[in-house]
Amino acid sequence: MAKGLLGIEGIERSEIEAILERAKVFQPATNRHTKLDTLRGQTVVNLFFENSTRTRTSFEIAAKRLGADTISITASGSSISKGESLVDTLNTLGAMHPDAIVMRHAASGAPHFLSRYLPTPIINAGDGAHEHPTQALLDARTILDRREKLESLRVAIIGDIAHSRVARSNIHLLSKFGADIVLCGPASLLPRELADIAPGVSLTYDIREAIKDADVIMMLRVQLERQHEAPIPSGEYFRFYGLRLEHMSLAKPDAMVMHPGPINRGREITSEVADSQKSAILNQVENGVAVRMAVLERILA
């Protein structure tokens, strides 16, 4: 792998396959969580300028299970809240010579900027509405735990596509593997140009059409923090785009439901669906650790 991992768009399918294959070794069923010493003596800095539960924790657990030392820095608990510029924060961290920096930032391209600036490998943990590569990798791992291949699967991605880095990274990944990708959401959250982002992508405003014959239904949170326009009232959003049990009969009988979290129950998905047998939401979280171990190992070992 190149220096770090900035996005899915720029990496080869073979690279993705290697990570997904290696992640299997770190899955709970095969890995008894004995602490490995693969990365002993290395330091991974988690630099989070935006809130996170799953991503930050799982990167930290992944690094620790591989034997690395980890340090987590959040914007509110650091000098970033004292007005320090991004460049100064980065130079300060760079001067401590960490072995890798995992970074989340509200600005699209922030990790790319950082990687041009520092010799340290950078792993993008979400940059604005741009990419969230390890999320797409863990999503692919989760699908492949239940399906043989990604090719020809019909994957519906439903919700606030416009502001979703999870959607973008998943579109790039699934497209590289020949999946059929249907994007669905209200017109204000579904820009038409997304139809051209990658091969195999189509758009619909109708949730029923999106779900029809789907193998995988990926739900997304409405990212109010990234919206500048007045938001769609939540009751109305739920009426048109909330995933309910009744929708599931339109999908393939063995369809799976996914969500990167955090989920807003009663807004984009009902509890009945989120907690059902078809839901793979907690498997996604489990795979988050396994996939991040595979990524860290590939970059640092």
Distance of closest approach, residue 165 Cβ to ligand NCD, in angstroms: 5
Among 20, 44, 47, 55, binds ligand NCD (CB under 6 A): 55
Q: Would you list the DSSP string of 26-42?
A: TSTTT---PPP-TTTT-
Q: Which among 208, 191, 197, 145 has a CA at the least distance from the CA of 174?
A: 197
223: its two tokens: 């990212």
Task: Please give the Cα distance from 142 to 286 (Å, whole number).
Answer: 9
270: its two tokens: 């009902």
Question: Which residues have a Cβ under 8 Å from the Cβ of 182 and sit 6 or more positions away?
Answer: 154, 155, 156, 157, 201, 202, 203, 204, 209, 210, 214
The yes or no reply on residue 283 touching ligand NCD (CB under 6 A) is no
Distance of closest approach, residue 176 Cβ to ligand NCD, in angstroms: 20
Question: Which residues have a Cβ under 8 Å from the Cβ of 185 and sit 6 or more positions away?
Answer: 158, 159, 160, 161, 162, 205, 220, 241
The yes or no reply on residue 168 touching ligand NCD (CB under 6 A) is no
Peptide bond into 262 cis (omega under 30): yes
The yes or no reply on residue 135 touching ligand NCD (CB under 6 A) is yes
Distance of closest approach, residue 153 Cβ to ligand NCD, in angstroms: 21
Q: How many residues does the chain have?
A: 301
- Cα 120 to Cα 57, 90, 183, 292: the distances in Å are 21, 10, 36, 17
Distance of closest approach, residue 91 Cβ to ligand NCD, in angstroms: 26
The yes or no reply on residue 267 touching ligand NCD (CB under 6 A) is no
Distance of closest approach, residue 127 Cβ to ligand NCD, in angstroms: 10
Task: Please give the Cα distance from 80 to 50 (Å, whole number).
Answer: 12
The yes or no reply on residue 176 touching ligand NCD (CB under 6 A) is no
CB 209 within 8 A of CB 48: no
Among 130, 132, 154, 292, binds ligand NCD (CB under 6 A): 132
Distance of closest approach, residue 107 Cβ to ligand NCD, in angstroms: 14
Q: Mark residues 199-238: x for contact with ligand NCD by CB under 6 A, - for none.
A: ----------------------x-x---------------
285: its two tokens: 């979280």
Task: Please give the Cα distance from 190 to 124 (Å, whole number).
Answer: 24
Q: Mark residues 112-131: x for contact with ligand NCD by CB under 6 A, - for none.
A: --------------x-----
The yes or no reply on residue 261 touching ligand NCD (CB under 6 A) is yes
Cβ-based nearer residue to ligand NCD, 42 or 131: 131
The yes or no reply on residue 54 touching ligand NCD (CB under 6 A) is yes
Task: Please give the Cα distance from 233 to 235 (Å, whole number).
Answer: 6
Binding-site size, ligand NCD (CB under 6 A): 11
- Give the nearest residue (CB) to ligand NCD: 221
Residues in contact with ligand NCD by the rule CB under 6 A: 54-55, 126, 132, 135, 165-166, 221, 223, 260-261
